Structures are given as C-alpha cells and as structure tokens.
Structure 1
C-alpha cells in the first residue's frame, strides 16, 4: 500500500510541478508527515525527485523557448552554494524543529500563492534581468537555495514567485526555477542520503524517481495547453490546510 501511495503521489505531484513549477514541497510532507519516515529519508527521496523534475522540466521549457539560460545559470551558481549551507544547517537542527520549519514554509508558500495577483502573460520577454547585475542573482540564488535545501521546499515554490515580482515573465520564471532546482537538488540529495541507511532508499528511490519523472514529463509537455492558475489555487488551499493541521498536531 505504501508503494502504491508513493507512485500515485509522485505522478500527481510531478505533473503539477511540470505544469506550474510548484507543488514539490508536498513530497517531504508526504514522506515525513503522512508516511512517517524520518526527516533525512523524506528529504533524500524528495530531492532526488526534484533532480529529475528539474532536468525534465527545464528541458521541455527550453525547447518551448521559455527558459532564459543565462539568467538561470547565474541564479543556479548561487543556489548550489546556498544549498550546501542549507544541508549543513539542517544537520545541526533537531528533527522536530526541521519539520516545523518545513510546515511553516509550506504554509507561507500556500498563502503567497493565494494572495499573489496573477499577472497576464507578457507578449515579449521582459529585459529586467539585464538591468540587474549578476552579483544580485548570485546572492538571490544563494539565499533561496539555502532556504529550500534546509526546509525541503524544492526550489520553484520560492524562486518562481520572486522572479515574477522581479518582472520576469511567468512561463520563463517557471523554466528558470526548474533549472535552478537541479542545482539545489544535487548537494541536497547527496547530503541527506548520506544521513540515511541505504536499505531505506534502495527500494523506494527507483520507484519514486520513475513515477515522478512520468508526471513531470507529462505536465511540462502540456504546460501551454492547461491553465495553471486553477491548479495553483487548489494546491495552495490544500497546502495551507495541511500545514496548519501538522503545525497544530505536531
């Protein structure tokens, strides 16, 4: 039954990531909250999945010309460094506190989706990123990478809305966030896996990666055909309610 839940959840969450760039933060909640795994095991499985979703999703967004590769690289360099710091910081914090941080990030993320006004799709790519020096994007990546690696939020849930605020077109922001999530996931997945017993990962990891990859591929290939705003709102409402429940019940 646990295996079936993991397969179905990864396909659905992967599909939502491919469509909207968000929802990855639901995976560590599934593993550590619903299935009762340790924080390390849940984060390891989640970040390995985020690595797959980042590669497949970014590839499809690049093919659709919705990925500003130059900007994505600057952000990702910072995120890689920040993610290393996030993993190391996580190891210093008590497990119960890490889970509370995760639920709080999920709650704030869900609220930000509900409260953020959806901008219209831009007809031309915004040039805002060209007016901002690369050092800003390095710092931007480092800070968001640290927060995402520490909490298990994945990356796009935090990076994508912030890029939109900085006037990056919505679909381009999703593509950049997916690309960036690769470089958050690499040090995070390795770091958290080192804190797990291999027998806890050896069976679940291939299962979760294959099912997650199927969902992400399907979602990112159909991102132009499906309105993501309704799906975003549904994910946000579910996330807020679940986070509040977990924060209250512990």
Structure 2
C-alpha cells in the first residue's frame, strides 16, 4: 500500500501543480475510497498532504518568474476569511445542498474556461493583456476559501479559472495559484485538525510522492512556449472541472 500511495502521490503532485491546484480533492478521494479513512480525518489529512508539495511547487514556479502576486493577493483577501467561515458553517450545512452548489460552480466555470479556450484570440503577449478585475478576484477567492473550509479541498480550481478569465496564461495562473493555496491550506489545516486526526501513515506516503512530482513539473513546463502550454492545458482544465462537477453529485 505504501508504494501504491507513493506512486499516486507522485502522479497527482506533478499533475495538479501544472494545473494550479493543491490536489487535496484527489487526495481526499484516495483517502476515503482506497484507504477507507473517516471523512473528517481525510479532510485534515488531504490538506496536510498537499501543503509540502505546494510549497516546493510554488518555489519552483517562483524561479520561472511566472508568479503574479497582485492577482494572488487580491484573491487571498477574500479566500482567507471565506476559509474560516466555511469551516465554521460546515457542520451546519446539509451535505446535499453543498454538493449541488459545488456542481453548479464547477460546471459553469468549466464551460466558461472551455468557451474561452476556443473563442479567445490573443493579438499580443498574454501578460500584456491581463487585467486585474477586483470583483472577479474577490469572487473566485471566496469560492476557493469556501471549498477549503467546508470540504477540506485545496480550492485551486476557482483560483485558476478566475485568473485565466482575467487574461493570465496557464503557467502564470498555475504559479500564482500555488502561492495563494499555501496560505488557505494552512488556515484549512488549523480549522479541520480540530475535527479529525491526521492519518500520518497514508498522508506521509502520498506526501513524499507529491513532493517529488511537484518539484519536477514547473521546471519541465518552463521549457515550453507559454502560449502552447496554455492552448493545451486551458481546455483540459475546463474538462477536468466539468468531470469534477459530475462526480460531485454522482
């Protein structure tokens, strides 16, 4: 089981850091479905597992020069308090209502990102056309924080979707999201650790694999043209969000 979790952690760590997520949703699924850990403990463990790989991945992204702190900071202004609020209301919120809300959010964001992928024509460099929209930044930051607080997810999807819609390239969105998710994950761990104990054995196995995968992926991505990477990963990100929407209520 340790080797299997190690390999799964490596795959998830490399993939999600490329997509700008923390991977907590995937870890949560493995911990509850494969390892059969109680949901409360799995939520705390998934965030704990994702944090080290996020830190390493964020540093690797930082060295590529793709981080846009202005975008990340605006989203964090809304994400941090939303994480705290989500953790508080989690025990009072009906699970079915939450599932359908997440379904709608993921579905709409996924469709919008895919639509933008095939109808967005850039006449100049993406970085030059990106514009920070405070309203969008606060909205997507709030969605991310609520996902972390309520369900123990890393909340990367709304952050990346929001930054893509504001004009950042996929590499910039992934880099900036990884930095912002460090903060929300720490807050989420502090809040969820009071509800469930961390499963150290499974968590450490996944963590080791994720650290290796997240350390290698940013350097690999930096070798490719940012427009080509965005052209491939942006619609993939949209498709993943739609799949996650469906699995939420399946």
| TM-score bin (small chain) | 0.7 to 0.9
| Greater alpha carbon shift after TM alignment, 179-188 vs 15-24 | 15-24
User: Which residue pairs with 1:4 in the alignment?
Assistant: 3
Q: 2:33 and 2:114 mapped to 1: Cα distance?
A: 23
Deviation at 1:114, TM superposition (A): 5.1
Give the whole-Å Cα distance in 2 for the aligned partners of 1:20 and 1:13: 10
Q: CA deviation at 1:238?
A: 6.9
State the distance in 2 between where 1:105 and 1:33 align.
24
Please state how far the C-alpha of 1:71 moved relative to its aligned partner.
3.0
Q: Deviations over 1:27-83 (max 9, x none)?
A: 222222444322212221221233223322221221111001233223223212111
Matching residue of 2:249: 247
Q: Distance in 2 between matches of 1:238 and 1:102?
A: 14
In structure 1, the residue matched to 2:149 is 149
SS of structure 2 residue aligned to 1:128? coil
Q: Is the aligned partner of 1:209 residue 2:207?
A: yes
For 1:83-232, list aligned pairs within 5 A: 83-93=83-93, 116-117=116-117, 122=125, 124-126=127-129, 128-129=131-132, 132=133, 137-138=137-138, 140-197=140-197, 201-225=199-223, 227=229
Distance in 1, matches of 2:6 and 2:113, equals 26
Q: Cα RMSD (Å) of the superposition?
A: 3.4
Distance across 2 between alignment mates of 1:100 and 1:161: 19
Partner of 1:68: 68
**Which consecutive residues of structure 2, in runs of 5 or more, have no partner in the other structure?**
none
Deviation of 1:122 after TM superposition, in Å, equals: 2.8
Query: For this pair of structures, how many residues does the alignment match?
Result: 242
Consecutive unaligned residues of structure 1, counting only runs of 5 or more, are: none
Show CA shifts across 1:85-109 (max 9, x none): 1222223235676667667766666
TM-score (structure 1 length as normaliser): 0.77
| Contact 1:57 1:220 (8 Å CA) reproduced | yes
1:4 positional shift: 3.1
The 1-side partners of 2:6 and 2:234 are apart by 21
TM-score (norm 2): 0.77
